[in-house]
Structure 1
Amino acid sequence: MDAELSEEQRLVRKMAKEFAGDVVQPLARKVDHEHYFPQELIPKLGELGFLGVNVPETFGGAALDYVSYALIVEELARVCASTSVIVSAHNSLCIWPILAYGNEEQKTRYLPSLAAGSTLGCFALSEPGTGSDAARQTCSAVEQDDGTWKIDGVKNWITNGPVADVCVLFTMTHPERKHKGINAFIVDLKNTPGVTIGKREEKLGICGSPTSSLMFENTFLPPSQLLGAPGEGFKIAMATLDGGRIGIAAQAVGIGRAALEDSLSYAKEREAFGKPIAEHQSIQNYLADMSCRIDGARLLAHRAARRKDRGLPYTKEAAQAKLFASEAAVDAALKGIQIHGGYGYVKEFNVERYLRDAKITEIYEGTSEIQRLVI
């Protein structure tokens, strides 16, 4: 894989790996065990350009490509999946649609602070009764006589919801038009009356990544907050998720790699029947399968990222990458627990966390079942 990376991409990976190991990893257990949001990392991530990876320099970003983005997410996920998804949701789900569909005023207003990390972003598509069936939106946007939009409804499962400043919101304006009746808006969550942040969800994994509902009641937005053209909301959401799935694939690769590396290290030290368990064929088979699937997942993620960078269609490739990588990560974590035996089942070792963190990659930004339909 290294032969396919440019010098810049290798340098980005090196920087991300060093930052992850030196700065993020010491916090990882606290983040997981205490469900701790690592606020102190946000300014540092911003300084490195990790919160504006694909944002042009004119808007304060790092102006890197999507392969570099995948490399950054993988290295962060290798040590702390919670931190990786905070970064992923911010970059791919909030920044990208503003960059791709926003007008110049919106880009100038929002991108510099998002790229610097002085504001954080989120993406609000799912609802209490609407997950995979994203076209069935019930959160409404009704245009008023003065041109403002009245928003009412509830959004669920919002990554970064409790801590976000900026939200890309999807609403239904014309139900009779189905998916063509959906609009997208940019919402200043902390400065807009009528917005309520719901309780923070208690989750199985990615415990430091805060998730909540967002409630809109008599929330009025000026016309300047409409993102893209009227009726383009569903198109914007689907295009955004295509790119987001590359990030989730990279996250899954990082988690799976962590399970593999920890398991290999443990297997070399743990002895059974007179020799390290790494010398037993059954353990070697586990490790070989983990290695093949994780490397294959990375190749699929980078293929999708390269197609995106080249302006080629990548919907199918992104879905393939997310599907394969997420299932590979869960499998690697399960095998890792088996290799660790009883130690794999206790929180003293990290491998049980990898399983809890990996499972969500099969669910969010499109379940494995939806990815198979897309493919």
Structure 2
Amino acid sequence: MDFELPEEYQAFRDMVRRWVDNEAPKDWARSLEMDEHNYPFALWDKFAETGFHGVGISEDYEGQGGDVVMQMLLARELARTLGGLAWIWGITSFAGSKSIGLYGSPEQKAKFLPEIANGRLKAAIAFTEPAGGTDLLGAMATTAEKVDGGWVLNGEKIWSSSAHVADYLLVIARSDKTAEKKHHGLTLFWVPTSTEGVKITPLAKLGMRSMGSCSIHFDNAFVADDAVLGEPDKAWHILLPTLNNERIMVGAFCLGVIDGVLEDALDYMQQRKAFGGVIGRFQSLQHYVADIATMQKTTELMLHYCADKQSRGEQVGVEANMLKLIASENANKAADLGIQILGGMGYSAETDMQRYWRDSRLWRIGPITNEMVRNGIAESLGLPRSF
């Protein structure tokens, strides 16, 4: 196995790193994140101007091209300074370009992919049910009833990030109430947020503040037949490859957070003085940064293994879950150690450690809890299903 990135990927990574340092530095990201009531349109527009929304979209649809490895390199570099704000790019990449690119019709691809690639369309994911959380299938109460010319949606979704500024929602709903199995009878919809009967309400939360998360109510919301993505009643089967991609993307974002934490911790330890010298000479703090660096490398190796495997079309479900597990726990632990290293300044809103901690804390819960990830890994090893 070759652990070195090809020159093309290295050049792309280095370009993004320079762009991030110049256009999205940490102090600017910190100011954006503190204003939880205003979506950072300026950040979205910068991504559009640079072409980042087109990464992973074919040049046939005005995109930049690139495979999952290139997407993960972009995600990592963005999260180094932006933390959870990197989801500004990631949500539409998953909900829009990845989903439509994989199972959209030719007409849907031609209509929507160029809009996404050029930053003219924002999307949000509307999967989670208020009563279900990780139990998406068992708690699916949002329904889609077939009528002449389309479907009528009723129900509620929650924790839909950026839905309040999105143009479209990627919605999963139960379209066949008689299906024998929970993962059968589900349909995927591409719903305009302007649809009558769709009500979006922002929610307050701990981290990723200015990006916004929302509850969504569907009250007899009619969508036309051309809003269906893929085959009706078969949504879960077609979604699985993109769910793996989402877990790999989370791993990349977490790795970027670890990069930012280590960068800030080393800088502080080499400047801050106490007890007659810089605090970088203290053995306990050296152990902390050694642990963070080790988390960084193990997460990096797992990320590249999963991204490379998926880019070659191989099954990566179990490994993607493992990556999501270790990456989210490593990132949150690294940020916690970073706060400890900085002491009171780590707790201060004037530095980024607290932001990294708050943002990475979510990834231990979503898009699937780490407890459920562990259940799935154990089941893949032949143990009985525990839920």
**Scaled by the length of structure 1, what TM-score is found?**
0.95
1:196 correspondence with 2:199 = yes
- Measured after TM superposition, the shift of residue 255 of structure 1 is 1.1
2:105 maps to 103
Stretch moving more, 103-112 or 85-94: 85-94
Answer yes or no: is the 8 Å Cα contact 1:95–1:121 preserved in 2.
no
Give the Cα–Cα distance (whole angstroms) in 1 for the partners of residues 19 and 85 of structure 2.
12
Match among 186, 189, 196 for residue 190 of structure 2: 186
1:266 correspondence with 2:268 = yes
CA RMSD of aligned residues (A): 1.6
2:93 maps to 91
Give the Cα–Cα distance (whole angstroms) in 2 for the partners of residues 162 and 345 of structure 1.
30
Answer yes or no: is the 8 Å Cα contact 1:135–1:234 preserved in 2.
no
- Measured after TM superposition, the shift of residue 94 of structure 1 is 2.8
Stretch moving more, 41-50 or 5-14: 41-50
Give the Cα–Cα distance (whole angstroms) in 2 for the partners of residues 352 and 88 of structure 1.
22
- Measured after TM superposition, the shift of residue 239 of structure 1 is 2.7
Give the Cα–Cα distance (whole angstroms) in 2 for the partners of residues 357 and 266 of structure 1.
21
Answer yes or no: is the 8 Å Cα contact 1:166–1:187 preserved in 2.
yes
Give the Cα–Cα distance (whole angstroms) in 2 for the partners of residues 235 and 366 of structure 1.
18
1:365 maps to 367
Equivalent positions of 1:315-334 (< 5 A) are 315-334=317-336
SS at match of 1:353: helix
Give the Cα–Cα distance (whole angstroms) in 1 for the partners of residues 164 and 14 of structure 2.
31
1:56 maps to 58
Distance 1:3 1:180, change over 3 A: closer
Distance 1:2 1:20, change over 3 A: farther
User: Cα deviations across residues 343-368 of structure 1 (Å, max 9, x unaligned)?
Assistant: 21211222111111110111111111
Equivalent positions of 1:143-162 (< 5 A) are 143-144=146-147, 146-162=148-164
Answer yes or no: is the 8 Å Cα contact 2:33–2:85 preserved in 1.
no
The size of the alignment, in residue pairs, is 372
1:68 maps to 70
Answer yes or no: is the 8 Å Cα contact 1:167–1:187 preserved in 2.
yes
Answer yes or no: is the 8 Å Cα contact 1:78–1:254 preserved in 2.
yes
Give the Cα–Cα distance (whole angstroms) in 2 for the partners of residues 248 and 32 of structure 1.
19
Give the Cα–Cα distance (whole angstroms) in 2 for the partners of residues 373 and 86 of structure 1.
30
Give the Cα–Cα distance (whole angstroms) in 1 for the partners of residues 217 and 303 of structure 2.
34
User: Cα deviations across residues 179-214 of structure 1 (Å, max 9, x unaligned)?
Assistant: 111111111212x2221111x121111112121112
2:28 maps to 27
Answer yes or no: is the 8 Å Cα contact 1:56–1:63 preserved in 2.
yes
SS at match of 2:154: strand
Stretch moving more, 267-276 or 209-218: 267-276
Give the Cα–Cα distance (whole angstroms) in 2 for the partners of residues 133 and 52 of structure 1.
33
Give the Cα–Cα distance (whole angstroms) in 2 for the partners of residues 182 and 259 of structure 1.
41
Give the Cα–Cα distance (whole angstroms) in 2 for the partners of residues 84 and 296 of structure 1.
22
User: Which amino acid letter does the alignment assign opposite residue 7 of structure 2?
Assistant: E
Answer yes or no: is the 8 Å Cα contact 1:184–1:227 preserved in 2.
yes
- Measured after TM superposition, the shift of residue 168 of structure 1 is 1.3
Answer yes or no: is the 8 Å Cα contact 2:72–2:248 preserved in 1.
yes
2:352 maps to 350
2:277 maps to 275
User: Which amino acid letter does the alignment assign opposite residue 97 of structure 1?
Assistant: S
1:141 maps to 144
- Measured after TM superposition, the shift of residue 3 of structure 1 is 5.6
- Measured after TM superposition, the shift of residue 39 of structure 1 is 0.4
User: Which amino acid letter does the alignment assign opposite residue 193 of structure 2?
Assistant: L
**Scaled by the length of structure 2, what TM-score is found?**
0.92
User: Cα deviations across residues 52-82 of structure 1 (Å, max 9, x unaligned)?
Assistant: 2211111111111111111111111111124
- Measured after TM superposition, the shift of residue 104 of structure 1 is 0.2
1:16 maps to 16
1:226 maps to 228
Give the Cα–Cα distance (whole angstroms) in 1 for the partners of residues 234 and 3 of structure 2.
40
User: Cα deviations across residues 138-167 of structure 1 (Å, max 9, x unaligned)?
Assistant: 1100111x2411111111100121111122
Answer yes or no: is the 8 Å Cα contact 2:55–2:65 preserved in 1.
yes
- Measured after TM superposition, the shift of residue 236 of structure 1 is 3.2
1:298 maps to 300
User: Cα deviations across residues 237-285 of structure 1 (Å, max 9, x unaligned)?
Assistant: 3332210111111111111221111111111112233332212211111
SS at match of 2:120: coil
Instruction: Give the share of equivalent positions with the same residue, in percent.
Output: 34
User: What 5-or-longer segments of structure 2 have no aligned partner?
Assistant: 378-387
User: Which amino acid letter does the alignment assign opposite residue 334 of structure 1?
Assistant: D
- Measured after TM superposition, the shift of residue 83 of structure 1 is 2.7
- Measured after TM superposition, the shift of residue 51 of structure 1 is 1.2
- Measured after TM superposition, the shift of residue 2 of structure 1 is 10
Match among 243, 266, 288 for residue 290 of structure 2: 288
Give the Cα–Cα distance (whole angstroms) in 1 for the partners of residues 217 and 54 of structure 2.
27
SS at match of 1:176: coil
